[in-house]
Structure formats: C-alpha cells, structure tokens
A = this chain, B = another copy of it.
Amino acid sequence: VIEGAKARRRAVRSKPRGRYHHGDLRRALIDAARLLVEREGRQALTLRAAARMAGVSQAAPYRHFPDKDALLAAVAEDGLRALAAWLREAAARHEDEPLVRLQALGVAYVRFAVTNTAHFRVMFTAVAAEPDPYPSLSEAYDEVAGLLLEAIVACQRGALVRDGKPRELALAAWSIVHGLADLAVGGQVPRMLGEEREPEALSKLVTSRLLTGLAPR
C-alpha cells in the first residue's frame, strides 16, 4: 500500500530546484509520517522527524497542519483511502457473485491490517471522533463502511443473505472482520487458536462462521 508514494516523492523533489519552496510539502509530510509509522511504530511519528525526513525545518509543517493531531488525521485518512481502494479492487474480482465478494472484502480487510499493522492502528485510533474535527477523514471512514454496506445489499438482492436492516447486518460484518484484524495485529490469534495462521484462512474461517451461524444445524 505504498502505491504512488514513489511517484509522489519524485514530484516533490523535481519541483524545488533550489532548497526553497518545496512543491507539495503537505504530501511529503504525510508520506514521511507514514514511513515513520510503518518502520518504527506510532511513537516514532514525530512532527520534527517528519519535517527532517522531508528536508524542511521543524516549523515548516505548521504551514500545512495546525498541529500534530492534524497530521495524524491526514495519515489516517491516507490509509483509509488506500484500504478502500484495496477493498474495491478485491470486490471487483467478483462482480456477479455477491457472497464471494463479501468474503473477499473480509479477506482483503484482514490482509491490509496484517500487512500495515502500525498504519492500520493509526487509522482507527488517530483522533477522537467526537466533534468530527476532520470532515475528510470522516468521509474516508464512510467510504469503507459504504463498501461493506453495498456488499450486504447486493447479497440480500440475490437472496444470499437474510432480510433485515442492511445497516445492522453490515455492522455485524464490519465488527467481525475489524475485530479479527485488530486481534491479529495485536498478536491475539495464536493465543486463542494455539497457532499462527494466514490472514486469508483466518478471515474465511471467521466470516463463514458469521454466515452460517454459531447455532447447531
């Protein structure tokens, strides 16, 4: 999920000519922040380190972000857009099989989390949702939620999923997949299972249980 990052960096470096006027410092800072998070964990994401990595002074980021939280929100949003794209791609491979598509979304979700553990955590813990201070971050969440909801609706249309409020069913699907992702990222899966397992197998195991239920029969 570093798609485009290299291209962006190139764009950033090609403009300045001198050492002044960075080109797209905002973008460069987000990329740097993401790199720091993935390489050394969330606590390594420091405004100063991101500035250093982008080759500007410690004060420069404040031209583009009011504070550190805003940069974190941007990093989260960036990850959510990448996740949404990732999910969309997985879904596209099963256009006319809604149930397979739903399962593919689950697999892709868990795969993404396990592949980008630190980034995934930032995506869902970046900032308090309370007064919704970052509307475009909010949209990014909506995008992810929307993809799951659509998949459920498509299944219902094909009578592959029971009737009922689609949003409630989608919340159940989101919960089980997000929970598995978070537990996996936190290393809890081997604790419960007694062994490690591939994200794909894991996701299928758990989502098929949601599909057919825990009850006997």
A residues near B, CB below 8 A?
41, 121, 124-125, 128-130, 138, 141-142, 145, 148-149, 155, 159-163, 167-183, 186-189, 191-194, 205-206, 209-217
Contact = CB atoms under 8 A, between A and B. Distances in A.
Nearest to A189: B171
Contacts of A180: 171, 175, 179
B142 A186 contact: no
Nearest to A125: B121
Q: What DSSP secondary structure best describes chain A's contact surface?
A: helix
Residue of A138, A163, A170, A171 contacting most chain B CB atoms (<10 Å): A171
Copies in the complex: 2
Contact of A183 (B159, B174, B186, B215): B174
Contacts of A211: 213-215
8 contacts: A129-B188, A142-B191, A145-B192, A168-B209, A169-B209, A172-B206, A210-B210, A211-B214
B194 A161 contact: no
B179 A194 contact: no
Given A162-B213, A162-B216, A168-B193, 16 more contacts: A130-B187, A145-B191, A149-B192, A155-B214, A160-B216, A162-B215, A167-B192, A168-B205, A174-B183, A176-B210, A178-B182, A178-B183, A179-B180, A179-B181, A211-B214, A211-B215
A191 B162 CA distance: 22
A159 B217 CA distance: 10
